[in-house]
């Protein structure tokens, strides 16, 4: 089966039409050949019987002269064959000459003194009959016993079928165009893009289009409400935290440092909340160079003196991505690698249909049975990581996963073969 909707619809349309045309054409042509051939052969057989009955029982030369004179009136050619000199009478027929078998059968029924029927080709026919004076041969044109090939019928059938197929394809294309536009809008929405779409086409297609628009609107409202709620909560908590920091700075006590650390951790938690709330909403999709973006990110870490290097770079080309969101996702993965290890490496591969950012570190990694839990919000897998680097909020991988899904991509976690730690693949479609 074809994989595309166009191919399957065309197959559903063309296959029955071709089958019906083939069956009707074969049936008609077969009946046309058989009936017309039978009628023509019966008439010619009666002519042969009449001529044979009118020939005198005299010298072969007289028989030939009389036979030729009578045969000429019926459009036939007559001669007497010396079987002793010529040998056995020919009885040829090509295996695909179906009308020829009808000719032979009818002549055997009509001509009682028939000896043989020779059908060497489509042009001539030779009928051998037994006469008192010897073996007579009647030869004539094949068109006297067989219907001519209905070429015009076949040509008109093919022309009409091709013309009607083109008309049906144009109607089919108009019906499938709204479905393709809806599929393109759904695919773009899955990649975080908003493509204008207006339902059209048949009633069922319009209903599916309206359902898609309602679903897209609900999802956008939910994303907007989540963003506003988390942003509002994080923003409102900044003011009391600022007052707490100011109040703690005025306290002269041994416990002040611990309280300031708690406030700093709360501040960090709020920053992570804001990052998670922003998610993929930072900026619009742009046509950027993923390799240049990776080089800029690594250069920034190198200037800061952090152990981050640029690994293997494959492919060339650009991709339509949100650069701010993608940068945040890559930096979160690199930050986790540096935090729980001593080295991180960023690699980029630009494929034909996707872009892959690979971040590897030499830390303890994440066990395979805990990788699904690691990408959930507020999930902390500290027992499997390095406790000397402190505990995180649990939103880093969740932010990366959210950004990947917003682009229509995915985040894959595995173990690095080179560095031995965690290997995170951020795969985004182009």
Give the CATH number, domain containing residue 410: 3.30.565.10
Residue bearing the bigger pLDDT, 108 or 187: 108
Report how many domains make up the chain.
3
pLDDT of residue 266: 76
Residue ending a domain, choose from 243, 278, 313: 278
Asked which of 81-85, 123-127, 315-319, 345-349 is least confident by mean pLDDT, the reply is 81-85
pLDDT of residue 275: 63
- Is 50 contained in some domain? yes
Q: Are residues 129 and 32 in the same domain?
A: yes
Q: Are residues 14 and 135 in the same domain?
A: yes
Q: Are residues 268 and 285 in the same domain?
A: no
User: What is the C-alpha to C-alpha distance for residues 257 and 301, in angstroms, rounded to an integer?
Assistant: 30
Count of CB atoms within 10 A of residue 88's CB?
Answer: 7
Task: Estimate the crossing angle of helix 323-340 against helix 290-303, to 10 degrees.
Answer: 40
Q: Are residues 194 and 139 in the same domain?
A: no
Q: Give the pLDDT band (50/70/90) at residue 174.
A: confident
Q: Are residues 267 and 286 in the same domain?
A: no
Q: Give the pLDDT band (50/70/90) at residue 387.
A: very low
Give the CATH number, domain containing residue 204: 1.10.287.130
DSSP state of 388: G
Q: Are residues 284 and 271 in the same domain?
A: no
Q: Give the pLDDT band (50/70/90) at residue 399.
A: confident
Per DSSP bridges, beta strands 308-314 and 354-361 are: unpaired
Task: Return the SS3 of 4.
Answer: coil
Give the CATH number, domain containing residue 40: 3.30.450
- Is 33 contained in some domain? yes
User: What is the C-alpha to C-alpha distance for residues 79 and 134, in angstroms, rounded to an integer?
Assistant: 10
- Is 287 contained in some domain? yes
Asked which of 34-38, 105-109, 229-233, 368-372 is least confident by mean pLDDT, the reply is 229-233
8 A C-beta contact, residue 366 and residue 413: yes
The 10s digit of each residue's pLDDT in 337-375 is: 888 888 899 999 999 889 999 999 998 888 888 888 888
The 10s digit of each residue's pLDDT in 50-64 is: 999 999 877 778 889
User: What is the C-alpha to C-alpha distance for residues 84 and 387, in angstroms, rounded to an integer?
Assistant: 116
Q: Give the pLDDT band (50/70/90) at residue 402.
A: confident
Q: Are residues 313 and 396 in the same domain?
A: yes
User: What is the C-alpha to C-alpha distance for residues 318 and 328, in angstroms, rounded to an integer?
Assistant: 19
pLDDT of residue 379: 67
Does 394 score more than 70 pLDDT? no
- Is 162 contained in some domain? no
Does 386 score more than 50 pLDDT? no
Q: Are residues 294 and 422 in the same domain?
A: yes
Residue bearing the bigger pLDDT, 234 or 373: 373
Instruction: State the residue range of the domain holding 140.
Output: 5-144
The 10s digit of each residue's pLDDT in 132-163 is: 888 999 999 998 998 765 556 667 777 887 88
Residue ending a domain, choose from 278, 298, 329: 278
Q: Are residues 218 and 287 in the same domain?
A: no
- Is 294 contained in some domain? yes
Does 281 score more than 60 pLDDT? no
Q: Give the pLDDT band (50/70/90) at residue 388.
A: very low
pLDDT of residue 384: 45
Does 29 score more than 60 pLDDT? yes
Reported pTM: 0.51
Asked which of 35-49, 267-281, 303-317, 360-374 is least confident by mean pLDDT, the reply is 267-281
Does 376 score more than 90 pLDDT? no
Residue bearing the bigger pLDDT, 55 or 7: 55
DSSP string computed for 251-311? --STTHHHHHHHHHHHHHHHHHHHHHHHTT-SS--EEE-HHHHHHHHHHHHHHTT--EEEE
Q: Residue 347's closest CA among 280, 271, 417?
A: 417
Residue ending a domain, choose from 278, 306, 339: 278
Q: Are residues 273 and 366 in the same domain?
A: no
- Is 171 contained in some domain? no
Q: Are residues 14 and 73 in the same domain?
A: yes
- Is 132 contained in some domain? yes
pLDDT of residue 52: 92
User: What is the C-alpha to C-alpha distance for residues 138 and 111, in angstroms, rounded to an integer?
Assistant: 12
Please report where in the chains the tokens 């994989």 appear, as a residue.
3
DSSP string computed for 317-374? --EEE-HHHHHHHHHHHHHHHHHHSS-EEEEEEE-SSEEEEEEEESS----GGGHHHH
Per DSSP bridges, beta strands 410-415 and 344-350 are: unpaired
User: What is the C-alpha to C-alpha distance for residues 110 and 45, in angstroms, rounded to an integer?
Assistant: 6
Q: Are residues 196 and 311 in the same domain?
A: no
- Residue 344's beta-bridge partner residues? 308, 361
The percent of residues above 70 in pLDDT, for the chain, comes to 89
Does 2 score more than 90 pLDDT? no
Does 252 score more than 80 pLDDT? no
pLDDT of residue 74: 94
Asked which of 30-39, 69-78, 137-146 is least confident by mean pLDDT, the reply is 30-39
- Is 20 contained in some domain? yes
Does 210 score more than 50 pLDDT? yes
What is the average pLDDT score of the chain? 83
Residue bearing the bigger pLDDT, 8 or 360: 360
């Amino acid at each position: 089966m074809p994989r595309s909707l166009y191919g399957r619809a065309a197959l559903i349309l063309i296959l029955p039409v071709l089958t019906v045309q083939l069956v009707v054409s074969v049936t008609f042509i077969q009946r046309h050949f058989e009936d017309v051939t039978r009628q023509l052969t019966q008439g010619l057989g009666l002519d042969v019987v009449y001529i044979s009955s009118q020939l005198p029982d005299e010298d072969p030369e007289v028989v030939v002269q009389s036979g030729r004179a009578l045969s000429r009136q019926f459009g036939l050619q007559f001669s007497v064959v010396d079987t002793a000199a010529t040998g056995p009478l020919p009885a040829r027929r090509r295996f695909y000459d179906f009308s020829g078998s009808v000719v032979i059968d009818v002549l055997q029924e009509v001509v009682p003194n028939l000896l043989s029927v020779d059908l060497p080709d489509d042009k001539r026919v030779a009928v051998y009959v037994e006469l008192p004076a010897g073996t007579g041969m009647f030869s004539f044109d094949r068109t006297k016993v067989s219907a001519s090939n209905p070429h015009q019928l076949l040509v008109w059938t093919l022309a009409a079928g091709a013309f009607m197929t083109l008309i049906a394809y144009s109607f089919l294309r108009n019906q499938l165009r709204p479905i393709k536009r809806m599929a393109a809008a759904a695919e773009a929405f899955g990649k975080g893009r908003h493509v204008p779409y207006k339902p059209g086409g048949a009633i069922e297609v319009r209903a599916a289009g309206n359902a898609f628009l309602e679903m897209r609107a609900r999802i956008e409202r939910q994303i907007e409400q989540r963003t506003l709620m988390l942003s509002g909560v994080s923003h409102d908590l900044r003011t009391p935290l600022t007052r707490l920091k100011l109040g703690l700075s005025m306290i002269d006590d041994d416990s002040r440092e611990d309280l300031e650390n708690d406030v700093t951790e709360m501040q960090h938690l709020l920053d992570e909340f804001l990052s998670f709330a922003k998610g993929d909403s930072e900026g619009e999709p742009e046509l950027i160079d993923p390799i240049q973006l990776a080089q800029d990110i690594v250069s920034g870490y190198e200037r800061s003196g952090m152990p981050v290097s640029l690994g293997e770079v494959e492919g060339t080309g650009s991709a339509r991505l949100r650069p701010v969101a993608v940068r945040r996702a890559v930096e979160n993965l690199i930050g986790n690698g540096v935090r729980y290890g001593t080295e991180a490496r960023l690699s980029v591969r630009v494929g034909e249909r996707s872009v892959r950012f690979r971040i590897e570190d030499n830390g303890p990694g994440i066990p395979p049975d805990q990788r699904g839990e690691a990408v959930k919000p507020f999930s902390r897998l500290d027992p499997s990581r390095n406790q000397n680097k402190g505990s995180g909020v649990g939103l880093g991988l969740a932010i990366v996963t959210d950004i990947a899904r917003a682009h229509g991509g995915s985040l894959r976690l595995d173990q690095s073969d080179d560095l031995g730690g965690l290997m995170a693949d951020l795969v985004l479609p182009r």
